[in-house]
Amino acid sequence: MEDNSTKGLKRDRKRRQRISRIRNGIIGIFGIWLVASAYLCITLTLRVNSLEEKLDYLLDNFTVSGQLEEESKKNPSNVDESAYFDLENSTESQMWEETYAIPPAVNQQENLAKEGDTHKVYLTFDDGPSSNTEQILDILKQYNLKATFFVIGKEDEKSRALYKRIVEEGHTLGMHSYSHKYSVLYETEDTFESDFSRIQNYLFEVTGQECLFYRFPGGSSNHVSNTEMTKFIRYLNSQGITYFDWNVSSGDATSQAYTPKELVSNVMDDVVKYKTSVVLMHDAETKHTTVEALAPMIESLQGMGAEILPIDENTTVVQHIAASSVGEQ
């Protein structure tokens, strides 16, 4: 009897051990499954977030393109092409792709920063005024900083108020042609000169201030001008105007849909190299990411001890073709 009951107890113990092993196995597998799922969930969420950011940007652009097309069908004369030029005109898009490679500025070698040098950074905004100008100005005001706006000719009341606000708040107002239409602007010396006078006179009439700085649409090194750029450079020299290209590009004009974070790192990667950095950005209706990138960009620049300044007559010029290289005639 005793033997039988001992055997029974042993059997019971073995069964309990087996059950507990199976239970532990099940718990183990469940645990691993739980951890793996959580890991997968987190990875996927991060991926989806980054894709959503990109999609938002693409949808914005797509919508604007579509709207523009519809508007131009309804009323062709009503469309402000300049605000959309890089989306609408494939030649211009291609050109921006090329310029994103950034031709070396003529003083690149002397401009390389050595350890201990202060980095001077000039934030420049092309193509405004636009529906983003106010926000850009508000952000600059919040940080008590001045920048440079290379503007084009817009006659509406809102734009006129924006030119004035740029000047009143101490920023540098530069010219970026009146029309921003490459085919007309760069057609002949005459068309360039009359466009130049038009923007110069217009901005003087609106702000009471004479503009001394110019940025060529597409830069002095652009490949779309039908006329040699040296002719226009010679003309600007004769007018006492200094033109600025750029040696740092945020990349906000390329067909790449950069996120605000990427725009900031595009700028930061290059600013560290130079004593003087002229940063190319755009003030245009579709460039929401530029606005979003501005505050974090300013903070990163200040974090590295950079001095953020508006262009003035003491600024080291950054030019792709040297103004001094063209001679007098």
Residues in the site for Zn ion, rule: CB under 5 A? 126-127, 217
Return the number of other C-beta atoms located less than 10 Å from residue 261's C-beta. Answer: 14
The least distance separating Zn ion from the CB of residue 116, rounded to whole angstroms, comes to 36
Rounded-to-integer distance, Cα 327 and Cα 243, Å: 16
Report the residue number, 65 or 302, with the smaller CB distance to Zn ion.
65
Q: 211, 201 in Cβ contact below 8 A?
A: no
For Zn ion, the closer of residues 161 and 224 by Cβ is: 224
Q: Which residues of 65-89 are buried (b: 16+ CB within 10 A; e: fewer)?
A: eeebeeeeeeeeeebeebbbbbbbb
Tell me whether residue 111 or residue 172 sits nearer to Zn ion (CB atom). Answer: 172
3-state class of 118 per DSSP? coil
**Closer residue to Zn ion (CB): 214 or 274:** 214
Nearest residue to the partner Zn ion, using Cβ: 126
Give the whole-angstrom CA distance, residue 60 versus residue 316.
37
Residue in 110, 178, 186, 131 with CA at minimum distance from that of residue 150? 178
Q: How far apart are CA 140 and CA 267, in angstroms?
A: 17
CB closer to Zn ion out of 126 and 285: 126
**CB of residue 176 to Zn ion, shortest distance in Å:** 6
The separation between the first and the last C-alpha atoms of the chain, rounded to the nearest angstrom, is 125
Q: Find out whether 75 and 68 touch, Cβ atoms under 8 Å.
A: no
Q: How far is the CB of 164 from Zn ion (least distance, A)?
A: 21
Q: Measured from the CB of residue 283, what is the shortest distance to Zn ion in angstroms? A: 10
Q: Minimal distance in Å, beta carbon 85 to Zn ion?
A: 7
In terms of Cα–Cα distance, which of 286, 295, 285 is closest to 257?
286
By beta-carbon proximity to Zn ion, the closer residue of 217 and 310 is 217
Q: How many CA atoms lie within 13 A of 182 on its CB side?
A: 20
CB of 318 to Zn ion, least distance (A): 16
